[in-house]
Amino acid sequence: MITAHINGIRIAYEDTGGSGATVLLVMGTGSPARVWEVHQIPALKAAGFRVISMNNRGIPPTDECPGGFTMDDMVNDVIGLIDHLGCEDVTLIGTSLGARIVTETALARPDLLSRVIALAAHARLEPVQQAMTRGEIALADYGNPPPPDYRAAVMALQYLSPATLRNEDQARDWLDMFAFDDGRISAGHRAQLQISQVLSDRRSAYRDISVPMLIIGFADDAAIPPRLSREVADVVPGAEYVEIADAGHFGYLEQPAEANRLIIDYLKRPLATARVRKMPAVTMV
């Protein structure tokens, strides 16, 4: 990855080049940008877009900033990278924590953006998600992760659709992947979790967003239930909402063909149609 000094830290990013419109991908909590390389980056490149992905602060080789940071810091990192690259009319795509980052960026600097796509968007967390976040922070402080098989099973239940888990071969593959690392939560990952712990209800603020938005919910998402994504669509003027069936929190990896179709169709739509009016919520089944 390329590194640039932005906002006093090193930000690592990947730029595919190309002459098409620029799409900047922003990942969720604890995850590196390379997750996008499995499905989304190839599809976007094939569709003719210039694709840039970044490691958020907290995720090496971007600086971890173990002393902590804020949502404003993460938003300013996105803005700083756009300025560093000299991009105009950028589309932001983010998932989970990344969805919050791109939504907040739309609120802060609409002049930089053409549109935003937020996967597993949310303006607040409910008690169960708040408790999970507190628990993950406590695990980070404890320093001893749960046994790999147990941790992998918990992650499968938290992040995957029952439709995926019913396929025993797929379930085994996911369990093997989840058990691959040692399960320790780094200082940078912990700092990202801390941001979720202090999240206030942002629904009122999001009424001032002027950038066209597509919000994608995942029907079986236990980490960010789709009702929270629909809440964002309900308050952002002109936002569209679609929901992917048989998809959990990692729905863009479980149902990549459908996720990529929705993303690319929205990006190729004439921009004026995304700005005209509040679109009704639509559920993909």
Burial class (CB in 10 A: 0-12, 13-18, 19+), 41: buried
Q: Is-catalytic flag, 96?
A: yes
Q: Is-catalytic flag, 208?
A: no
β-strands 2-6, 113-119 pairing: unpaired
100, 28 in Cβ contact below 8 A?
Answer: no
User: CA dist 146 to 153, 155, 168, Å?
Assistant: 11, 12, 23
Catalytic pick from 53, 73, 122, 249?
249
Distance CA 94, CA 31 (A): 12
Residue among 99, 46, 80, 104 at smallest CA distance from 252: 99
Q: Is-catalytic flag, 176?
A: no
Residue among 20, 158, 185, 33 at smallest CA distance from 94: 33
Burial class (CB in 10 A: 0-12, 13-18, 19+), 39: middle
137, 197 in Cβ contact below 8 A?
Answer: yes
Strand order in the sheet with 113-119: 2-6, 9-15, 50-54, 22-26, 90-95, 113-119, 213-218, 240-244
- Virtual torsion, Cα 196, 105, 73, 18, nearest 10 deg: 110
User: CA dist 49 to 89, 125, 253, 264, Å?
Assistant: 13, 33, 20, 10
Catalytic pick from 31, 96, 114, 161?
96
Structure tokens at 63: 């600086």
Distance CA 16, CA 163 (A): 33
What are the residue numbers of the active site? 96, 221, 249
